[in-house]
Amino acid sequence: MLPLAHLSHTSLPHATGRCCVFIKAEPSPRACLPSAAAGKGTLRAGMDFLNFSTETWTLLVALVTLFVIYLYWPYGAFKKMGVPGPKPVPLFGTMLAYKRGFMNFDLELILVLSCCPRQNFRLNGPLYDAVSIAEDDQWKRIRSVLSPSFTSGRLKEMFDIMKHHSASLISSMKKKADANQPLELKEYFGPYAMDIVTSTAFSVDIDSLNNPSDPFVTNIKKMLKFDLFNPLFLAIAFFPFLGPLFEKMEFSFFPASVTDFFYAALQKIKSSRETSQHKSRVDFLQLMIDSQKQHVPNDLENDKGLSDHEILSQAMIFLFAGYETTSSSLCFLAYNLAVNPEVMEKLQAEIDSTFPNKASAQYQEVMQMEYLDCVVNESLRLYPIASRLERVAKASVEINGLLIPKDMVVMVPTWPLHRDPDIWPEPEAFKPERFSKENKDNIDPYTYMPFGIGPRNCIGMRFALVMMKLAIVEILQKYSFSVCKETEIPLEMDIQGLLAPKRPIKLKLEPRS
């Protein structure tokens, strides 16, 4: 894998060495000495080992040689390409140096390579045809069917549904606020995101805010529980050639019980929708069903309809993406406001002027709020949920004398890119003014990509932004976020899976006078 953050110089930590302690052993009169028979048995076993046939010895040496070559050969790729960097070690490559960090960004390289299709990782199980995983013509066809779900007109139609769930969110938070108790934010923003996704996508109201044990919620959490030390993940990481074998054996990174549950549930919803007489639905699922009805068999020019399995996969990936990314982004946004009260006060002033006397939020006005947009963008800069993007080069390309061969996996590390002091002055500071109208035009689009960039950016980006902005507006109309003794400052981040804090973010809500 080729990181776009390559080195101009390398600094490696010194080894600490090994300290050996020798203990003088005195012979004990009670010590038992091996018998002569035992000695003969050991000698005979050793002789049998040495008396392997020539063929056996040849095979053994060949296997050891191949294993040693496998340990070292893959890590010589960067050296052959002339890419400077830390010296790799067998099995781990340069993974151990990531924690120290090394970067030297080339924006032209990011611009060209981030537009290549995403690599299709193996062992995706039944999600092999989801829009975020599918490739080439299949991806284009699926994306073209889904895109109309996220137009401004569709989002405006969904806004009233979102407001219903934001009202439930505030009602749930009020109980803790009235008791002056800290809130564990994910317990509120997670169900809020889940309820909006299920209701706007499938017209199903699970009310997970009041029913945290709902099967949809528990199975989503199982799906998103990523274990870096999962034996299957480690096997693929260290021995990638085993991928096709595991795929044939139908192994998957996703728990079968979870995927089976969601495919069965979504199939039931789809079947009932097809037999229903009500045609007024405008949700995500209905759009995909309609694409099937408009599909003309054997018409290659208009072959855009989704198969039954493709419909279920898109619905499933929409659930996972909508739940985790939006809820985590809301948690980070609330945290940033709590630790930067002057920013929160300025945002509340804009909210009060846009919706005087706590007037009901409206779609058009929310989306036109300039400072709110700046605040959300700055929070996503500091905490991009997808801390890195990966693409695969579909053709060999040479940039600045560096040849990127076809099929090379290229990584765009958004976390360090968003915090590079050469790009962002005072990168650790929370400064929404970076994204003001006066400054926004000066930002290179390839230095800020919380939702990815290019043709394969996040298709649900606008949907997620509406959810986030609505929740923050309606909360800040009535309350202010504040830190408490349970608030961890600064946050310690978890390195597994999507970006998340190691420990839950806890804040208090204080009623506004």
**DSSP secondary structure, 304-322, as one string:** -PPPHHHHHHHHHHHHHHH
Q: List, in order, residues 6 or more apart from 43 with CB less than 8 Å away.
A: none
- Listed by start position, the domains of the chain span 105-511
Name the DSSP class of 509.
E
pTM score: 0.79
pLDDT band at 503 (very low <50, low <70, confident <90, very high): very high
CA neighbor of 257 nearest in space, from 267, 265, 249: 265
Give the distance between the most distant pair of CA atoms in the chain. Answer: 99
| Kind and range of the H or E run holding 220 | helix 215-223
Check: CB of residue 420 under 8 Å from CB of residue 427.
yes
**Res. 195: pLDDT tops 90:** yes
**pLDDT tops 60 at residue 40:** no
pLDDT grade for 303, boundaries at 50, 70 and 90: low
Arithmetic mean of pLDDT, 121-146: 81
For residue 54, CA distances in Å to 59, 62, 67 come to 9, 12, 20
Query: What is the per-residue pLDDT for 374?
Result: 98
Whether residue 223 contacts residue 125, with contact meaning beta carbons closer than 8 Å, is answered with no
391: left (phi over 0), alpha (psi -120 to 50) or beta: beta
Tell whether 116 is in a known binding site. Answer: no
| Proportion of the chain above pLDDT 70, given as a percent | 74
Q: What is the pLDDT of residues 466-495, one digit of tens each?
A: 999 999 999 999 999 999 999 999 999 986
Across 120-124, 166-170, 203-207, 262-266, the highest mean pLDDT is recorded for 166-170
Work out the average pLDDT over 56-78. Answer: 78
What's the token pair of residue 375? 């605040």
Is residue 85 a contact partner of residue 94, using CB atoms and an 8 Å limit? Answer: yes
Backbone angles phi, psi at 414, to 5 degrees: -65, -35
Residues 116/119/125/126 CA torsion (nearest 10 deg): 10
Contact 449, 114 (CB under 8 A): yes
**What residue has token string 């606020």?**
177
Query: Looking up tokens 């939006």, which residue turns up?
Result: 326
Mean pLDDT of 257-286: 77
For 105-511, the fitting CATH number among 3.40.50.20, 1.10.630.10, 3.40.1210.10, 1.10.1740.10 is 1.10.630.10
Report d(CA 68, CA 51) in Å as an integer. Answer: 24
The predicted-structure confidence for 332-344, as pLDDT tens digits, reads as follows 999 999 999 999 9
Tokens of 513: 């006078």
Give yes or no for a contact between 478 and 365, defined as CB atoms under 8 angstroms apart: no
Q: Which amino acid is at 327?
A: S
With 0-12 CB in 10 A as exposed, 13-18 as middle and 19+ as buried, what is 402? middle
Q: Please give the Cα distance from 287 to 310 (Å, whole number).
A: 13
pLDDT tens readout for residues 353-390: 999 999 999 999 999 999 999 999 999 999 999 888 88
For the ranges 19-23, 275-279, 369-373, 395-399, which has the lowest average pLDDT?
Answer: 19-23
Which residue shows structure tokens 């801390």?
A: 387
Alpha helix ranges (H) inside 227-307: 231-238, 243-248, 256-275, 284-294
CB 298 within 8 Å of CB 115: no
Q: Let me know how many helices (H) and strands (E) the chain has, helices first.
A: 19, 10
- One-character DSSP codes across 372-411: HHHHHHHHHHHS-SS--EEEE-SS-EEETTEEE-TT-EEE
Token look-up 């806890």 returns: 506
> Could you report how far apart the first and last alpha carbons of the chain are, in Å?
54
CA angle 329, 333, 337 (to 5 degrees): 175
- E runs forming strands in 49-133: none
Closest to 319 measured CA to CA, from 412, 413, 184, 214: 214
3-class DSSP assignment, residue 117 = coil
Mean pLDDT of the chain, nearest integer: 80
Write down the pLDDT at residue 278.
52
Q: Which residues 6+ apart lie within 8 Å of 92 measured at CB?
A: none
35 or 412, which is more confident: 412
Where is 56: in which H helix or E strand? helix 54-72
Burial of residue 192, with CB atoms counted within 10 A of its CB: 0-12 exposed, 13-18 middle, 19 or more buried: buried
508 beta partners: 482
Residues 129/138, Cβ–Cβ less than 8 Å:
yes
**Highest averaged pLDDT of the listed ranges 273-282, 388-397, 431-440:** 431-440
